[in-house]
Structure 1
């Protein structure tokens, strides 16, 4: 006999089962929904997954003390010595003498203590040369003279062996000690050289260690080495070590070109960290920088690896880039690069012919534990298989729920798809409008020093809007032929179908970064196939548990990548110029990442009683965060957190001529907007800026490149928006910048050759533009005139960036073709001398700079600009 309470329980269960299959019962919809506290538990679990990813992402190896493995302590000592030299700017004593001496002394010390079986050569070389660097949107003609490299080579056991090159640069930008960029990598290389010099067996391939002394001047010293050095002719594979941040694990963000075998060796490092999405982003020119890897690839026909730190880019190229770097960061890099170099030093593929038929490779890591790589063929097979599984899972659900047999059900699916799409469109439109509003009232970039702000400001509204759309749809949809559980499953399937379409399109057009979404599509489809095989789709809630478990791994993967993207792009907004609204970029990124990380779960809220309360909670959170934007709590810059606002200043003296007449002769302070808030944020501190600041655009017709010194050719596109304010003259500075016409030779009736001599500081710009109807035929130091897209007043214009290891004495020739009987000037030419180390500043300049608040970082330079017509 069963007790009475058991009989009552069985009776209730039977009634519930009956109501579940009775699709006309409104009671069924309520009875089989979940109470709101289930959604709270879900949000807590999801927050726990995010917390796990966030903290695991920061786990770094401990320092090793074994003498025969990489010792981060030794590298840290080298780093401190380099940083203590101060900014190591090309042409300065710190770079050309002190840094070179320290590196050379350490290499000699390593050579003296090496294993007698090893053979190591080393030297200091001085290189000069020129080349055209095809930056976008404008390229630059680069000329360099007497810049230095420190080079060491571990000889292989064979004669005429190929070589593996490992490279880092020891120079830094002005005002920066260059701790991460690139002192830490030089320090890692010294320690790796010490370890490998003590190996008991010589390698199969030569290993060349290049410490190059002029990377910040448009990659010049690496060009000097790879095009001139006798050791360079044997180099086949390059490991380039760089930084665009000062923390975290070094990331492999470029490899190849092609040659999948390279990744076979990288897969053996102890802590792999790589994303091919970084390669596609970098090569799209979205990220405003470049590395020596480009030089080795384009001018040395080398293949290899490009590594960089990407975390805490707020310190990049500032005075805060010192030796305050986590010892675990150094150990992580040392362990990886040492193992990779050991593998390549004996790799037979180094000396083999390149496979011209190789395809590009997809590569990425999972939490630094698992490294995944496959070629284009495997990618196509894998992605198409995922697409097929997704479509199969969707089709089974359609037939299982008899969608195709009911017009009402078919109509429901169509409306549900429309609701999903409409919710996504409203969500992205909402956050972008918020970004526009914030920017329009001059409160932009408040997340720059408060990363947490984007969670409530941009991520939260996306979740709230989508939940609102789905909950309202579930509540007011009149279709009663499907149970709530089946509606939820079909909505999840439709969401997966949308991502599957994106995966298909991305695969067809060759975007390798679609691996970011492929696991969501795959695991969701597999989860539903398991549910369908075991007939769990007709259960109320068990299928939800199976589905949630299936989505844990892809969610962790996407959250990992989301952190990488946020850590990379937020600091870039502080140095990417002020021409575009960064709120739009950040809100769009947040929308995409939030959608990818949550859209596979949000339809579950359709089955939550009072699910609208969850949406309301997200909107309340948004309102709170939106209010915080307009308070001092979210001030965007901080000296304490090392997140400054950047101001590169030139105190410039100008003499501008129109043929023989001087039309402008003045002095002023000039600077470019490094971020959207410049110069608004400092006007209350520096009254002169508010009183006399103007955009330089009105001078751009009168003077080549607006009569300004420039940082690099990338800055030319926004040059007319640079700021200028009148200032007292600069102090008398040496060496003085001069241009002298040495010879003018009439080669034929239409061909004229000019020879100029420029003298001045170690850094300068030379601009010239042929007159109308005059054509440039030759630049003496280049093999051919580069393709040119720059113009000035409708005429082709040319930009030369010059750097020297000492004072400048630069002679060059230009050959022009003119119409017959030409008796007018042939060209306009200008020289901007840039004094960026050991700067001699006037008292007025010093007083002006002292007014800037502590949360700014100012690069105070001096420059002269003078133009002529010949």
Structure 2
């Protein structure tokens, strides 16, 4: 290697060793925009630093702005049902919204078992019958020489059944009666009907929500697709079946009924499920389980999907599920699960209305699904589809779709790893152990240090300060994450080497880090490892180009090239281009999913720490070359940058703590309210619980003042049965409990109730009941048998829970546990389902060893029509109505009335 002093004399621009506190030297490159020779004559050293950083930051900001615009751009809504130029039928967003508005606003809360469910069923049947008649008339008017329109068949399925539903680490046995499905098939005739693709959406809603996006949008899209496809030539290869299912929110009962008992079930070969957990932005493909269906998705005009979402959903971190599960588990189907997900703050709230559904969203989902359905019915081979998760797929900035097998992925990864190794052999990459360790420790610092901010904010009583905007967490925790990353680089900066050498070794260390991540992810079979391949390849390409540019400038007069030991300024732009652009695009989805999700994952979840760690991760992977860039102007400048970030961070924390509220009207806090009448104890009590770790005491104080009583706290973990009506979601709820008896007695006009010493539950009429029939005991086996009969007029969603050692039962879909266990059996029924029966056989100590069953039943009233079951003759009191009418803007309520009774059978 040439003598450093001689090199310095031949090339004055070569950076010297970093011993000076004012070392602003840059790389040895004539193209370097920030090199001292280029800038020193015009700018001071500080301006040199600011110019370089400003240009680099501006480049990254430009990438973010461009990818943001691409990510959230939706197609222009179409209002006309036919194209005014060609006269052809076309998909119309306006037609979808007409259906969405009627379902969510005119009908309202379509909870299974209520009158609104029946009204929805009748409306859909009427509209589908009209579409069928219009298609029939269009077929009669069609010239004989044209291709025939499809056959239009329709069924209304009403079924009973049961299934086991494991969710949130809990086991729930589901029973259902009078569950309704409305089914439409479009086909070319018997030759098409043997192989069908299923499109599914549910028309019911959850408690406390009118369900415009979830899932009136999916229903409206399918209705409009039926209109369009029924007026086009019949599909030539496969038929298409549309399932309007009437019970998804009750834990996927209607889809189970279809796929296990409908006459078309054996002809279904693939499924496309339409869902929503948000109200804006593009819908995303977040579950896919076959290569053929993934390839079919590649034909849509606006692809938006990645195996990252598929892998993330499979971890169970996202506490949600869809009908897709029933089709896979019970129908052995492959398919696609697509959902709207942005602005999930309004998901399952009273704000899930058409007015908050972004313009262009129905058009986006509709055109994608229509293109998918067209391909699947016209060209796809649906026979013998194989289920697999070994497929890598992703969209490229929403413009086109890429999919390839895992074997192809491994070959790509080997090439990427080989190029990284070649760059090291050729000295384009010059990693050191010191620099590589610094990258790993920077990653750890980025994850850990934001938690110091969490501690600070929580000490001020300011949790969830980031909740109102998805990007706010980056501002709140980002500066300290970067400060931590840069502090590690400060400590690992080699004072004996030039700044250029520090830059190159750190840049090379970044390459090594992501290449190692690629190797580990590939070894683990992690399909999302394509992201590591992108990062490793970007670093490798940048280093190779850097070698050419810097080596050219380091050529001696006799034509010999010196060893490259610096980084050209343009190398950072090359190394950052694809990682920063792609991750920005993905990051929008990541934040859109996770930040609103923290508002519904329970009071015990450390959401501040979760978001802090997530933010640190985002900061680390956002722009990998930035860690090398921190060395560009020496340790003194890096030290000042760290101090600046810490000061800015502290200022942001203080401003946020003083001026920012964790909730507002469009980013509300989720509160659950239950008016429970305990028929055994005689209590009439109001439960108030929340679904996140944010503040609730001010709202509890307001409720206390409403009823002029003091609330007591009850832990959900110590009182697991308090919210059995919504089990297993109940495990996340801690409650504040208020006695409503004094309020009812004080407000009622009925003096009997006002002056009675009896429990107010004695005045409840037609309360749910359990009775035992066909009771027998076998002394030789020690087994006791009985048939449990439940009657619950005007009540829905009953839950029976008990503890015993079951030997057998009439729920043939699952065997009892082989040991004494706690059982929870949820029943739901369509409109006017007043009872159910269950056969049990359990191990008993004798004939009088009766089974104690707790029965919780939800009242039918209260959903959408502002009605509430009240004590006979009590007057217009309305405990729940009072809570609803005084709800603050920053709170959204999931509310219902229940009774609970204990029976010994």
TM-score range, shorter chain: 0.7 to 0.9
1:544 and 1:290 map into 2 onto residues whose CA distance is: 48
Tell me the secondary structure at the aligned position of residue 248 of structure 1.
strand
Per the TM alignment, residue 25 of structure 1 is displaced from its structure 2 partner at its CA by: 8.9
2:379 and 2:785 map into 1 onto residues whose CA distance is: 52
In structure 2, relative to structure 1, the CA distance for the partners of 1:218 and 1:337 (3 Å cut) is: same
Which residue does 1:76 correspond to in 2?
97
1:797 maps to 2:822:
yes
Q: Contact 2:670/2:893 (CA < 8 Å) preserved in 1?
A: yes
Tell me the secondary structure at the aligned position of residue 451 of structure 1.
coil
Which residue does 1:119 correspond to in 2?
151
Deviates more, 1:414-423 or 1:373-382: 414-423
In structure 2, relative to structure 1, the CA distance for the partners of 1:811 and 1:744 (3 Å cut) is: farther
344, 354, 361: which one aligns with 1:323: 354
Per the TM alignment, residue 617 of structure 1 is displaced from its structure 2 partner at its CA by: 3.3
Q: Contact 1:91/1:804 (CA < 8 Å) preserved in 2?
A: yes
1:29 and 1:699 map into 2 onto residues whose CA distance is: 59
Deviates more, 1:547-556 or 1:328-337: 547-556
Tell me the secondary structure at the aligned position of residue 342 of structure 1.
helix
Tell me the secondary structure at the aligned position of residue 354 of structure 2.
coil
525, 528, 537: which one aligns with 2:540: 525
Q: Contact 2:160/2:257 (CA < 8 Å) preserved in 1?
A: yes
1:207 and 1:362 map into 2 onto residues whose CA distance is: 27
Which residue does 1:834 correspond to in 2?
858
Which residue does 1:421 correspond to in 2?
440
Alignment of 1:134-153 (within 5 A): 134-153=166-185
1:110 maps to 2:145:
no
Which residue does 1:856 correspond to in 2?
891
Tell me the secondary structure at the aligned position of residue 397 of structure 1.
coil
Which residue does 1:670 correspond to in 2?
687
In structure 2, relative to structure 1, the CA distance for the partners of 1:680 and 1:600 (3 Å cut) is: farther
Deviates more, 1:500-509 or 1:187-196: 500-509
2:886 and 2:235 map into 1 onto residues whose CA distance is: 59
Tell me the secondary structure at the aligned position of residue 126 of structure 2.
helix
1:608 maps to 2:627:
no
TM-score (norm 2): 0.85
In structure 2, relative to structure 1, the CA distance for the partners of 1:606 and 1:700 (3 Å cut) is: closer
1:367 and 1:732 map into 2 onto residues whose CA distance is: 63
1:61 and 1:500 map into 2 onto residues whose CA distance is: 38
1:77 and 1:389 map into 2 onto residues whose CA distance is: 56
In structure 2, relative to structure 1, the CA distance for the partners of 1:43 and 1:173 (3 Å cut) is: same
Q: Contact 1:652/1:862 (CA < 8 Å) preserved in 2?
A: yes
37, 40, 43: which one aligns with 2:54: 40
Q: Contact 2:504/2:566 (CA < 8 Å) preserved in 1?
A: no
Q: What are the superposed Cα offsets for residues 66-97 of structure 1, whole Å, 9 maximum, x if unpaired?
A: 2422111211222122122111111122222x
Alignment of 1:406-805 (within 5 A): 413-471=432-490, 473-474=492-493, 477-480=494-497, 483-533=498-548, 535=551, 538=554, 543-608=568-633, 610-631=637-658, 633-639=659-665, 642-656=666-680, 664-687=681-704, 692-697=710-715, 705-715=720-730, 717-718=731-732, 721-728=734-741, 729=760, 735-746=766-777, 749=780, 750-760=782-792, 761-771=794-804, 775-787=805-817, 795-805=820-830
Could you list the runs of 5+ residues in structure 1 that have no partner in the other structure? Answer: 1-12, 404-412, 657-663, 790-794
In structure 2, relative to structure 1, the CA distance for the partners of 1:365 and 1:752 (3 Å cut) is: same
Q: What are the superposed Cα offsets for residues 727-749 of structure 1, whole Å, 9 maximum, x if unpaired?
A: 22579666521112233123564
Which residue does 1:661 correspond to in 2?
none
1:175 maps to 2:208:
yes
Q: Contact 2:511/2:539 (CA < 8 Å) preserved in 1?
A: yes
In structure 2, relative to structure 1, the CA distance for the partners of 1:766 and 1:697 (3 Å cut) is: same
Which residue does 1:165 correspond to in 2?
198
1:714 and 1:391 map into 2 onto residues whose CA distance is: 50
1:822 maps to 2:846:
yes
266, 272, 276: which one aligns with 2:297: 266
Q: Contact 1:423/1:466 (CA < 8 Å) preserved in 2?
A: yes
1:240 maps to 2:240:
no
Tell me the secondary structure at the aligned position of residue 726 of structure 2.
coil
2:474 and 2:409 map into 1 onto residues whose CA distance is: 33
Q: What are the superposed Cα offsets for residues 508-541 of structure 1, whole Å, 9 maximum, x if unpaired?
A: 1122222233211111112212333563595798
1:263 and 1:852 map into 2 onto residues whose CA distance is: 45
Per the TM alignment, residue 124 of structure 1 is displaced from its structure 2 partner at its CA by: 2.2
In structure 2, relative to structure 1, the CA distance for the partners of 1:51 and 1:752 (3 Å cut) is: same
Per the TM alignment, residue 762 of structure 1 is displaced from its structure 2 partner at its CA by: 4.5
2:763 and 2:247 map into 1 onto residues whose CA distance is: 28
Deviates more, 1:450-459 or 1:592-601: 450-459
Alignment of 1:296-445 (within 5 A): 296-324=327-355, 325-350=357-382, 352-355=383-386, 360-397=390-427, 413-445=432-464
2:124 and 2:15 map into 1 onto residues whose CA distance is: 81
Deviates more, 1:285-294 or 1:323-332: 323-332
Per the TM alignment, residue 580 of structure 1 is displaced from its structure 2 partner at its CA by: 1.6
In structure 2, relative to structure 1, the CA distance for the partners of 1:441 and 1:493 (3 Å cut) is: same
1:843 and 1:22 map into 2 onto residues whose CA distance is: 79
Instruction: Report the aligned-residue RMSD.
Output: 2.8
